[in-house]
Structure 1
Amino acid sequence: MEHKVICVLAMVLMLALSSLAQNQEEACAVMPRDRKNCGFPGVTAQQCKEKGCCFDDSIRGIPWCFQPLVIESQQEEECPF
């Protein structure tokens, strides 16, 4: 019985992590011309991600560390009061 519970919990954890990764990919799908700089010259991918930003060094001459898109599900609802 315990083995089944552990397997189910592991599957739920994997699904949750893959969902987070997919949301991150969507949030980082910013057109190069629309990227807003989030780093500094020489920033590493790790430093960029620690700031909650996206990192893509595949295109020269544009920010490699940039702010992610705000996805509708991530926006906080405004208080009506």
Structure 2
Amino acid sequence: MTIGSVQKIIVCQSSTGSTGSICGNDFTPVVQEAYVLNTESETQIEIISKPWDIQQSSALFSVVFISTVGFFLFTRAIGSILEFIKAHAK
């Protein structure tokens, strides 16, 4: 599904000495091609252009960071216990 189409539009270009046009004084209308979005594709565009949620991102970072550090400390503790058992088993 396309979210827009190429259409010809009128752009108001600055020019001095121009009098009375659809763009007003000091502007000249210029026809250009542009990609114009369809109104039906508004929901698609809204989903794509949602702003970044800092609170949710920081919560996710905190969970991942604490899990990583916790797993590291847990494995170090298990390693220490195994080394202690290995040293005293002889």
Bucket of the pairwise TM-score, normalised by the shorter protein: 0.3 to 0.5
Report 1 or 2 for greater relative contact order, CA contacts < 8 Å, sequence distance ≥ 6.
Answer: 1
Task: Normalising by structure 2, report the TM-score.
Answer: 0.34
